[in-house]
Amino acid sequence: MDIPVGMYRPHMREIPMFALPGGFVFRDFRLPGDEGPGDAGTWVKIQAAAEARFMQITHETFLNDFGGYESQLPGRSWFVATQKGEDVASITAWWWDTPPDCVLQGRVGLIHWVATIPEYQGRGIGKAMMTKAMQRLARDHEVAYLNTSTIRIPAIRVYLDFGFLPDMKKNRADEAWSLVSESLKHPTLGNA
């Protein structure tokens, strides 16, 4: 069963530090201009590959989340590339005005659209991306949030390791975190 869940980090201190594994580099999101069409298409390609089992990602998805704010993406959104220049992962350090059913209130830092294409998952890229995005969020925010779902157990493990806690104010939170606890043992969940 797939249930949306929220997670929050009540402070931005003591961010875990992970470097990219050898053979990979970060690069900034590029806007359309002299260097070509920009990275919206690259973002869609990576997200679509990573989310193929879960949801359909299109250019409309990109516009729904970033339309009108594309100029903010450089310095907030990054790709991980191989040494040959193949883009294989992406993360965005964004912001969010929380809804009433959120444990945090007001504008918060948001870990947004984390994705690694399947053949590169499990190599530590996600942890390095989280370090980079959390460091960026810490510049402007005192707390952080992210949205994910119960079927993303490996991602939830990383988020817990980065100090994120379950948002128990979200709709169906008890049911959702009970499901997560069946598949994931972690000290934060009190079942390790």
pLDDT at 1: 83
Q: Where are the beta strands (DSSP E) in the chain?
A: 4-9, 24-28, 77-82, 87-97, 107-116, 144-149, 165-166
Q: What is the pLDDT of residues 29-47, one digit of tens each?
A: 999 987 788 999 999 999 9
Can you tell me the distance from the alpha carbon of 71 to that of 177, in angstroms, rounded to the nearest whole number? 36
Q: What is the pLDDT of residues 47-98, one digit of tens each?
A: 999 986 777 899 999 999 999 999 999 999 999 999 999 999 999 999 999 9
Are 144 and 10 in contact, with CB atoms under 8 Å apart?
Answer: no
User: b/e for 148-157, b at 16 or more Cβ within 10 A?
Assistant: bbbebeebbb
Among candidates 84, 85, 77, 50, which has minimal Cα distance to 132? 77
Q: What is the pTM of this model?
A: 0.94
The domain 4-189 having CATH identifier 3.50.30.10: the answer here is no
What average pLDDT does this structure show over 133-140? 98
